Chains A and B, each alone.
Chain A
Amino acid sequence: GENVEQHPSTLSVQEGDSAVIKCTYSDSASNYFPWYKQELGKRPQLIIDIRSNVGEKKDQRIAVTLNKTAKHFSLHITETQPEDSAVYFCAARDSNYQLIWGAGTKLIIKP
């Protein structure tokens, strides 16, 4: 079955710098890759997603890239702000229509 690995587990960046979180997946049939942001004590919220028929998607300061050959996808956050501090989860949709989740990355924005 699908397996998703996420790195790093913790990422600390200076405010204004960029942050990159990477995920790898095992099932080449996976075709949907969302990213969720979870602030402390809150529910996970979808921030961006990508399907396997495109290689990159952007939404303002956030972008996701997908490399199907290497089976990895990444979240890029530019010009980081204090409100970007949260735990970020990646996921991959498997052939059973479920999302297989990464373990999460705690992003810390230093002022």
Chain B
Amino acid sequence: GAGVSQSPSNKVTEKGKDVELRCDPISGHTALYWYRQSLGQGLEFLIYFQGNSAPDKSGLPSDRFSAERTGGSVSTLTIQRTQQEDSAVYLCASSLDGTSGRWEQYFGPGTRLTVT
């Protein structure tokens, strides 16, 4: 079946501009996660959505970052007033159910963001 998809695959933007990154989770997956991965580094948790519950935003690095998930499916990560340190690969993952039983996370291909 279809996996997690993300768009765009690459985004180059000028410092100070806003960007929107999109994630389409696997159909039926109620949990959705956003991570950031800088070059050669590990996975930095950003935000977690579980069903209709309030998202866990504890990983967002600043108030320039926000995310929403509409209709329990597609999610958009927005970065306002981008800075050079925002340059990274942004990965989205989904799992069948974040609260019980099926915890395997499946990742999308990522969006490579470059802020010039």
Contacts and interface: CB of A to CB of B under 8 A. Distances in A.
B107 A44 contact: yes
Contacts, number: 44
B110 to A, nearest CB: 6
Interface stretch (B15-23, B42-50, B65-73, B78-86): B42-50
Interface in A85-111: 89, 93, 96-104
B42 A89 contact: yes
Interface string B75-116: 000000000000000010000001100011111111000000
Contact of B56 (A32, A44, A98, A103): A98
B26 interface: no
Nearest to B59: A98
Contacts of B107: 43-45
Nearest to B105: A99
Nearest to A34: B104
Between A44, A100, A101, the greatest number of chain B beta carbons within 10 A of the residue's beta carbon is seen for A44
B45 A97 contact: no
A97 B58 CA distance: 13
B32 interface: no
A98 B91 contact: no
A11 to B, nearest CB: 16
A46 interface: yes
B48 A44 contact: no
Contacts of B42: 89, 101-104
Contacts of B91: 43-44
Nearest to A43: B107
A89 B43 contact: yes
Given A97-B98, A101-B43, A104-B42, A46 B104 contact: yes
A69 to B, nearest CB: 23
Interface string A36-60: 0000001111100100000000000
12 contacts: A32-B103, A43-B107, A45-B107, A46-B106, A49-B104, A97-B103, A98-B45, A98-B56, A100-B45, A101-B42, A103-B42, A104-B42
Interface of A: 32, 34, 42-46, 49, 89, 93, 96-104
